[in-house]
């Protein structure tokens, strides 16, 4: 193994760690608990601490799928060399840092994906059109699906004819069923779910066993929430909200770590001593440190600048955020948590009075920033390689 190869990999790893820190300080660290902070369910600093822990766990246990897609699925026929990895990650992290400094949530997935595609195509790679269609569909549908679900939940929760001891446990049961079917690295060499792992021990066939375990998870959550809210409505809502924030933070780590460490995966072919788990662990540490040191500013921005969220509206925001995030992890699609959360905030806000205090100006600026971040990242990545090659 050449010393030059090792040194270039270490340089790329440093760029990856910087990207992981930026993700932790921005989208992954800020968005999951911003609704809970806006609802005064948890303080900003405590939210940053908790989200860092759950983000790290999610990165290690669920990060491989998106990492593979980012590292090997965005451009065909070529693997980015270490120099290309460094360039792509630096461009993406730089644009994210601008968003953190200005207080506007730049979409991480847009910047990193645009930079990697730009660099890869400039180096002679072929477009991965099928993957682009999948990614594009997820990005376009997220505001409508997430906002629509949030609108529906926020419309139901305050109704007198649908008491919270009924509506909230039903939402919890849905989350429990989904949780039973999440894939985790520690449940098998190729991953596995609680439903399949526990179902294999039941004396029924595979599909029926999976259904039984899934419904069992949902029933357990339903019973726990019905009991908790029945004895203390305000406290039960707060605890459910914090649990949702933890699940969204976990999902953020599993999805967003791929944007930081995914470009390193192709380089591991020349470094068999470095395992994918070690790379995911390092990315998780970067997200953890970023959440603890840089996330409070963005948490405050989302929680206070976009709207004043109560516990019910925050629950309406986090439920679709969790569902969409896990769909992206399952499909291996890089997705922006800023887009997910902000869309859900807007949807829930529209259900409580035509916007619920959402700043339309900031939403417009944010939307424009999302679109431009992909275009600018692509242009800088492609242009940097083209200019370098000319000399």
Distance, in Å, from the CA atom of 227 to the CA atom of 225, rounded to the nearest integer, reads 5
What is the phi-psi region of residue 40: left when phi exceeds 0, alpha when psi lies from -120 to 50, beta otherwise?
Answer: left
Contact (CB, 8 A) for 114 and 382: no
Residues 238-263 pLDDT 10s: 899 999 989 999 999 999 999 999 98
Nearest CA among 37, 32, 44 for reference residue 340: 32
- Chain CA centroid to CA 54, Å: 12
Contact (CB, 8 A) for 314 and 52: no
Instruction: Identify the bridge partners of residue 127 per DSSP, sorted by sequence position.
Output: 75
Task: Specify the pLDDT at position 44.
Answer: 82
Distance, in Å, from the CA atom of 349 to the CA atom of 86, rounded to the nearest integer, reads 40
Distance, in Å, from the CA atom of 236 to the CA atom of 49, rounded to the nearest integer, reads 22
Residue 76 backbone phi and psi in degrees, to 5: -95, 150
Nearest CA among 24, 57, 49 for reference residue 254: 57
What is the phi-psi region of residue 250: left when phi exceeds 0, alpha when psi lies from -120 to 50, beta otherwise?
Answer: alpha
What's the pTM? 0.88
pLDDT at 43 exceeding the cut of 70: yes
pLDDT at 334 exceeding the cut of 80: yes
Instruction: Identify the bridge partners of residue 75 per DSSP, sorted by sequence position.
Output: 127
Distance, in Å, from the CA atom of 94 to the CA atom of 318, rounded to the nearest integer, reads 28
**Which sign does the torsion angle of CA 137, 141, 146, 149 carry?**
negative
- Chain CA centroid to CA 160, Å: 34
pLDDT at 38 exceeding the cut of 70: yes
Contact (CB, 8 A) for 187 and 193: yes
Residues 119-154 pLDDT 10s: 999 999 999 999 999 999 999 999 999 999 999 999
Contact (CB, 8 A) for 303 and 103: no
- What is the four-CA torsion angle of 376, 380, 386, 391, rounded to 10 degrees? 150
Task: Specify the pLDDT at position 24.
Answer: 86
Contact (CB, 8 A) for 77 and 294: no
């Amino acid at each position: 193994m050449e010393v030059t190869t090792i040194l270039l990999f270490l340089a790329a790893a440093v760029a990856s760690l910087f990207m992981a820190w930026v993700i932790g300080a921005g989208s992954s660290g800020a968005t999951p608990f911003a609704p809970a902070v806006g609802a005064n369910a948890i303080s900003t600093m405590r939210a940053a601490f908790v989200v860092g822990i759950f983000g790290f766990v999610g990165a290690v246990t669920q990060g491989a799928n998106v990492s593979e897609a980012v590292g090997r699925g965005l451009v065909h026929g070529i693997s980015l060399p270490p120099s290309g990895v460094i360039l792509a990650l630096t461009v993406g992290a730089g644009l994210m840092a601008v968003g953190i400094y200005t207080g506007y949530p730049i979409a991480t997935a847009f910047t990193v994906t645009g930079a990697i595609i730009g660099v890869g195509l400039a180096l002679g790679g072929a477009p991965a059109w099928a993957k682009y269609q999948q990614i594009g569909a997820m990005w376009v549908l997220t505001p409508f699906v997430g906002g629509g679900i949030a609108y529906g939940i926020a419309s139901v929760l305050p109704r007198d004819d649908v008491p919270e001891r009924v509506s909230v446990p039903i939402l919890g049961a849905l989350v429990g069923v989904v949780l039973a079917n999440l894939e985790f690295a520690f449940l098998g060499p190729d991953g596995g779910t609680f439903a399949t792992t526990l179902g294999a021990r039941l004396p029924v066939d595979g599909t029926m066993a999976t259904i039984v375990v899934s419904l069992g998870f949902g029933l357990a959550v339903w019973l726990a929430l019905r009991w908790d809210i029945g004895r203390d409505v305000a406290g039960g809502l707060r605890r459910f909200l914090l649990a949702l924030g933890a699940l969204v933070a976990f999902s953020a780590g599993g999805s967003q770590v791929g944007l930081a460490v995914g470009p390193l995966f192709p380089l591991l072919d020349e470094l068999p001593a470095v395992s994918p788990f070690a790379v995911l662990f390092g990315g998780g540490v970067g997200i953890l440190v970023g959440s603890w040191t840089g996330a409070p500013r963005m948490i405050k921005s989302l929680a206070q600048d976009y709207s004043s969220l109560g516990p019910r509206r925050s629950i309406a925001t986090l439920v679709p955020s969790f569902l969409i995030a896990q769909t992206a992890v399952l499909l291996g699609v890089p997705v922006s948590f800023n887009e997910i959360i902000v869309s859900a905030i807007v949807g829930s806000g529209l259900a409580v009075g035509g916007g619920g205090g959402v700043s339309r100006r900031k939403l417009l600026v944010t939307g424009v920033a999302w679109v431009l971040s992909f275009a600018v990242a692509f242009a800088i990545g492609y242009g940097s390689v083209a200019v370098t090659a000319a000399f």
